[in-house]
Amino acid sequence: MTRPLRARGWAAAGRRAVAGALLLTGVAAAAPAVAAEPHYRCDRLDAQAELSGEEDDVLSQGRDGWFFRAENTDLDEFFVLDSESLSAMARLGAALRDRGTRLLLMPVPTRALVAYDQMDAGVPVQGRYARRDALAEYRATVKGFRSAGLEVVDLDPEMIRARIGPAFYLKRDLHWTPQGAKLTAEIAAADIDRLLGAQAAEGRARFVTREVRTEPMTGRLQTMINQYCDDPVPAQELAVFQTTREGGDGGPSGDAEQALFGDAGGGPQVVLAGTSFSATPTFNFPGFLSEALGRSVLDYSISAGGLATSLLSYLETSDFDRDPPQVLLWEFLAYHAFAEDAVAFRQMIGAAQGTCTGTDRLVAESRVEVTGAGEVVTVPADAPSVVGQAGYLALEIPDRTVRRFTVEIEYADRDADIVTIDQAPPYASSSRFFLEFSGDFSAPVRAVRVRGLPDDRALAIGASICRARQGAS
């Protein structure tokens, strides 16, 4: 059965973390010297591109047991932030501000930017890596976000290296270590407190993180490495951490989720939407963030979802529509190709504005019986003109098994915009869908048709055409 999205508590047992040279208390401590790992015999790495067919996961071995993925992931030198995507992000931020929510972007730098001294210049793909160019690209991306009026957590790779070095990342996995997660949480918390201003002191509680056990980190890349290496490559040993709220109903030794996400005493609400970096209990990022902030963090992150999955899934919830948070932290990977998510941006901008009522509802909600052939919601002749991004479509489809359909928007000049809505897993199931009208069309919207619902069965849906909030248009 498909379940709707719920925020998760992040103190449950089962946390994993990477043991490293720095203790996760925020205080640097002397650690015994650790011998460098040997260079593993992995002759079959040269043939893996042909064998796997997955360019993003092609691996090469670096130094001291490090492995790096292909040029368009770990070794990416270009962070392409096109003008249309930047404009969409700015509209999204403005739409959220209009709801009382401050959007805080957190682009995570690549592994090679942080751990470049663990690369082997004798390996062709690593020897070609131009770190200076990649660093300039990352910084230009952060600057581009800020130039559009967006707030950004700046995880500058040089700052990270000065603080904890390559221990920010795992050696044989794409994710950060708990050291990296903790450092990031501390940096993000300072930005969140800055956005909250005087409210930052309201409703604070004390959260404590403790190590509870150790276990090996065995992820997909670790498995791939051992498929291509003749020498057995051991998994890194991880320390498992647990964050709890002191004085909660569960207490530090009681029910962990209740202890972290019980009544934290009010204060401003902070929501996290991110990738597997935030969603994976192993790294305890939401727990570290709660500890650094002194308040509960509601986590809606989703693994294996790319840029938009978790944020769109959250914005479509009634939780957001009824009670928007004061701060929404959006974690994503800096190398993401933003232009690939043009439709997702249109959905997020619509969802950020939410359901419309009163004079903002330009075309009153109509309950229409939609079949696979499609039904039309027509804009009445006396309705206000809806042109470009000045309006958006809001749909309510009670059947949560409906995850894919097509929206056809017809304009007064007979031009049409055909958009496929595809929210198959890992998107959370939803009964609400939104779509910003495109700015590429200058004529007013005349009609909207919904097509392609499953099994050609009749399905009652609610449809409204809404006026864009001032900041989003």
Cα 414–432–373 angle (5° rounding)? 45
- Angle at which helix 178-196 crosses helix 285-293, to 10 degrees, equals 40
60 DSSP β-pair partners: 68
Distance CA 405, CA 452 (A): 5
Average pLDDT for the chain:
84
In eight-state DSSP terms, residue 290 is H
Tokens of 264: 């934290």
CA proximity to 283, closest of 357, 194, 186, 176:
176
pLDDT reading at 334 higher than 60? yes
> Where is average pLDDT lowest: 12-16, 208-212, 353-357, 451-455?
12-16
What is the C-alpha to C-alpha distance for residues 244 and 11, in angstroms, rounded to an integer? 6
Residue 76: pLDDT over 80 = yes
pLDDT tens digits, 85-137? 999 999 999 999 999 999 999 999 999 999 999 999 999 889 999 999 999 99
How far apart are the C-alpha atoms of 366 and 443, rounded to whole Å?
A: 23
pLDDT at 255 over 80: no
Q: Considering only CA atoms, which of 291, 432, 416 is closest in space to residue 354?
A: 432
244: β partners = 208
Q: What is the mean pLDDT of residues 18-45?
A: 57
* Peptide bond between residue 425 and the one before it cis (omega within 30 degrees of 0): no
Yes or no: say if 126 and 119 are a contact pair by the CB < 8 Å rule: yes
- Does this model's pTM top 0.85? My answer is yes
- Residues 80, 137: contact at Cβ < 8 Å? no
* The dihedral sign for the CA sequence 327, 332, 336, 340: negative
Dist. CA 322–CA 319, nearest whole Å: 5
Nearest-angstrom CA–CA distance, 9 and 299: 7
What residue ranges do the domains of the chain occupy?
43-345, 355-467
> For residue 343, which of 442, 279, 260, 421 has the smallest C-alpha distance?
421
Question: Tokens 């590429």 map to which residue?
Answer: 440
- The position carrying tokens 């930047």 is 86
Complete DSSP assignment for 177-208: PHHHHHHHHHHHHHHHHHHHGGGGGTT---EE
Residue 208 to residue 330: CA distance in whole angstroms:
24
**Quick check: 274 and 286 in contact, CB under 8 A?**
no
- Going by C-beta distance under 8 Å and a sequence separation of 6 or more, which residues neighbour residue 197? none
Name, of 26-30, 320-324, 347-351, 365-369, the range with top average pLDDT: 347-351
- Determine the Cα–Cα distance for residues 400 and 420; give it in Å rounded to an integer: 17
Per-residue pLDDT band at 414 (split at 50, 70, 90): very high
**Residue 286, pLDDT above cutoff 70:** yes
Q: Is the pLDDT of residue 284 over 90?
A: yes
Structure tokens at 157: 């790779």
3-state secondary structure of 305: coil
Residues in the chain: 473
Report the pLDDT value the prediction gives residue 3, as an integer from 0 to 100.
39
Matching CATH number, 355-467, of 3.90.25.10, 2.120.10.30, 2.40.128.720, 2.60.120.1380: 2.60.120.1380
For 148, how many CA atoms within 13 A lie in the half-sphere containing its CB? 25
Based on DSSP, count helices (H) and strands (E) in the chain, helices before strands: 14, 17
